[in-house]
């Protein structure tokens, strides 16, 4: 009888402690897509990634409305000219945020479905080196429209 009670107590304590464990906060928020000013040119995707308990590496990003996507980074070049370079990966430190925003990191969305219009919601997804994926619904805005305020 004592062994049974000890077993029940152990299982109860384990279940109680499991309820106290916080889930990994790895997530994507504030996602949005700006359509191109010239039809047929790439759209741009933006979002914030929130790192979880362990460092991760983002190795790709994509959307459900484009045939191809690439991570890029814009920066000021020599003489004040703007430059843009493709990124093969982006570090996502533990318990930190990484922002993809105009003028910095972003996702170029090539061959966006022509049916996508401002006000639509599309999915943006970041793929991690371990194969995990983080997605969020993104608001689509018109070319030249102000960025959404989150």
User: Within a 10 A sphere around the Cβ of 49, how many other Cβ atoms?
Assistant: 26
147 assigned to some structural domain: no
Q: SS3 for 6?
A: helix
d(CA 67, CA 123): 13
119 assigned to some structural domain: yes
CATH of the domain at 47: 2.60.40.1890
Is the pLDDT reported for residue 148 higher than 50? yes
- How far apart are the two ends of the chain, measured CA to CA in Å? 58
Task: Name which of 140, 148, 133, 138 is nearest 61 in CA terms.
Answer: 133
11 assigned to some structural domain: no
Render 19-44 in DSSP notation, one character per residue.
Answer: HHSPPP--EEEEEEEEPPSSTTSPEE
For residues 53-78, give the mean pLDDT.
95
12 assigned to some structural domain: no
For residues 39-44, give the mean pLDDT.
94
Claim: this prediction has a pTM higher than 0.95: no
Domain with 56 in it: 24-141
4 assigned to some structural domain: no
For the chain, what percent of residues have pLDDT higher than 70? 84
pLDDT at 18: 46
């Amino acid at each position: 009888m004592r062994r049974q009670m000890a077993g029940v107590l152990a299982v109860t304590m384990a279940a109680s402690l499991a309820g106290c464990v916080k889930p990994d906060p790895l997530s994507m928020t504030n996602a949005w897509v700006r359509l191109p000013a010239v039809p047929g040119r790439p759209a741009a995707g933006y979002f914030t990634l929130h790192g979880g308990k362990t460092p991760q590496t983002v190795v790709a990003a994509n959307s459900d409305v484009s045939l191809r996507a690439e991570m890029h980074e814009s920066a000021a070049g020599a003489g004040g000219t703007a430059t843009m370079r493709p990124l093969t990966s982006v570090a996502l430190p533990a318990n930190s945020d990484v922002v993809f925003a105009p003028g910095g990191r972003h996702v170029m969305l090539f061959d966006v479905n022509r049916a996508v219009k401002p006000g639509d919601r599309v999915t943006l997804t970041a793929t991690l080196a371990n194969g995990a994926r983080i997605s969020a619904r993104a608001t689509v805005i018109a070319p030249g429209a102000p960025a959404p305020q989150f």
